[in-house]
Amino acid sequence: MNRDDRRRFLRSLPLAELHRHFDGACRPATLWEYSEQYYRAVPGLDFEEFRHYLQWDDAKDRNLLDYLSKFDVPLQYTQFYENIKRIAYEIAADAYAEGIRVLELRTNPIIHRRAGLSTRQVVHATRKGLARFGEEHPDFRAGINIIAMRNHGGNLARILLREVIGEKAEWHGGPGVIGFDIAGAEAPFPPILFVKAYELAAKMGLGLTVHAGEAAGPERVWEAVENLGPRRIGHGTSAGRDPELLKRLAADGIVVECCLTSNVHTGAIDRYLDHPLPKFLDAGVRVALCTDNPTVSNTDLVREYEIAMTTFGFSENDMRRIARQGWEGSFVAEAGTFPAGGER
């Protein structure tokens, strides 16, 4: 199968994206427009130079700090209601163009409150942008996963949950809050600090996912599984080093959200071949291929599927199985069953 045929096949799959961050998926052209409108985020640059501050550059960027620096510029412009709403709409449009029909968008509302918006206003703007696109494309479904930062602690995580309860999907005729997640530095902030927050999220009826095993060992994945009761694990790359953990993930039906290119850029793995994706599948662990931050990593979901297919020699049926597992792992209630014909 040549590259054109491979991409044609992959674009025919009904795709679900379960791990895409709002601030890592903003269109560079839109941020450039805001930079021209408000003030130059980085004075003296043309558009191509500006893009370097948003996207990974293999020639210049080397480590996790370089990767994290790509979020500095977007945050200068995601502090305003109309901007958030527009960006959410554009993220949905970009996802739809990739063939994604179920999109879960992650956001940490607190980092978008520096100009005076409330937590609920941030989420409301995100929801409105997604809803507008959904009204134009009835075959598109979306939901919002709320992120609490580990370094903010468990108490603030519970406060955040109480602030967003009015934006739950079930209260609205369209996109809304469907899930809860924690992210940030793993080593100093273990999952056990967030037990009460996850108990509250479960009582609220939210889907539970946890960033774990990306920048720490499999012990953090174990702790998340044992203490937080998640249905999904974000990244989980280090889990591939622990056969007993793989058995546990498979037995519990926990879906691992695999982000290949992002994991290379952040240093979670050295190269694509080192990713434990084949180990997950061989052990019966359910997986979902995801982009994480498509603008930062300059990727899209079809490209991530293509990387998996070519790197590991997966067949068309392997890719259909992965697409099905992603779809079935979604917290979006309206996603329904995997479309007929998606897998043979």
CB count, 10 Å around CB of 212?
30
Residue 214 annotated to the active site: yes
Residues 103, 17: contact at Cβ < 8 Å? Answer: yes
Residues 15, 100: contact at Cβ < 8 Å? Answer: yes
Q: How long, in residues, is the chain?
A: 344
Determine which one of 214, 223, 304, 306 is catalytic. 214
Handedness of CA 330, 335, 337, 340 (dihedral sign): negative
Q: What is the DSSP string of 22-37?
A: GGGS--HHHHHHHHHH
What distance in Å separates the CA atoms of residue 28 and residue 48, rounded to the nearest whole number?
10
Single out the residue of 196, 241, 197 nearest to residue 219, CA to CA: 241
CB count, 10 Å around CB of 16?
26
Place of tokens 């959200």: 257
What distance in Å separates the CA atoms of residue 327 and residue 80, rounded to the nearest whole number?
32
Residues 147, 108: contact at Cβ < 8 Å? Answer: yes
Rounded to 10°, the helix 218-228/243-252 angle is 30
Order the strands of the 286-289 sheet from edge to edge.
15-21, 100-107, 141-149, 177-183, 207-212, 232-235, 255-258, 286-289
Beta strands in the chain (DSSP E): 15-21, 100-107, 141-149, 177-183, 207-212, 232-235, 255-258, 286-289
Q: Which residues are catalytic?
A: 214
